[in-house]
Amino acid sequence: MTKKLIAGNWKMNGGLDANQALVLELLAGIGQPACDVAVCPPAPYLGQVQLLLAGSKAVELGAQDVSRHESGAYTGDVSAAMLKDFGVRYCIVGHSERRQHQAESDVHVALKVQRALAAGITPIVCVGETLREREEGMTEFIVKRQLSAVVHLNGHCISEIVVAYEPVWAIGTGQTATPSQAQQVHAVLRAQLKAATEHAERVRILYGGSMNAANAAELLAQPDIDGGLIGGASLKAPDFLKIVAAAG
């Protein structure tokens, strides 16, 4: 059975003092988790968090984004090679906030996945539908389209990715998909992966829509939910540690 993965997405939050306090509290309370754990700070703090995590085998470093370009005149972009220099193990790719605010297309996301994989970084590929798309019965079509673009470009190594289902209507809203709603979409994604690779069982599918300390255990008990991509709760060490414990 594949270990579950709990990844904390700090989004555009944090500061030098706050980061240090959060990471030290996590390390003090995490012990030897039964699942894999990662934290994804904003890019300017990767060096700081790398140093704070040095020597710890319990928590790995993740990033929130990566450029689809290898190098060059792309002001503000951060390449996969740069992330690798900081010991980044995971990288969130195609988060709905970037799809919405930075107009990232399915093709852009697929290219970013390609760059991460080439650098030996595991991409956490986000897919999910808006409230309107769900109400119009388009959930399955949307998530399959988003994942299909990634499979099409990276099919030879698709078993090396992580997928995160994040219903857009449940991100930062306090709303959460019910365990059965989440499981239904995860099962669709699992079937799509099985059609793409004989190693589909290696691919962990995380739930990323307002998972918190109160609902984590029930969500993580679903057969096709292999962990969580945690937003707000990852900024509170006690809450994040409860989610990690629920994944054990």
Residues annotated as part of the active site? 95, 166
Q: Where are the alpha helices (DSSP H) in 8-95?
A: 16-30, 46-53, 80-85
End-to-end CA distance of the chain: 12
- Long-range pairs, 236-241, Cβ under 8 A, ≥24: 237/22, 237/25, 237/26, 237/29, 238/29, 238/213, 239/212, 239/213, 240/6, 240/8, 240/26, 241/26, 241/29, 241/30
Of all helices (H) and strands (E), which one includes residue 234?
none
- C-beta of residue 13 within 8 angstroms of C-beta of residue 232: no
How many Cα atoms within 13 Å fall on the side-chain side of residue 205?
Answer: 27
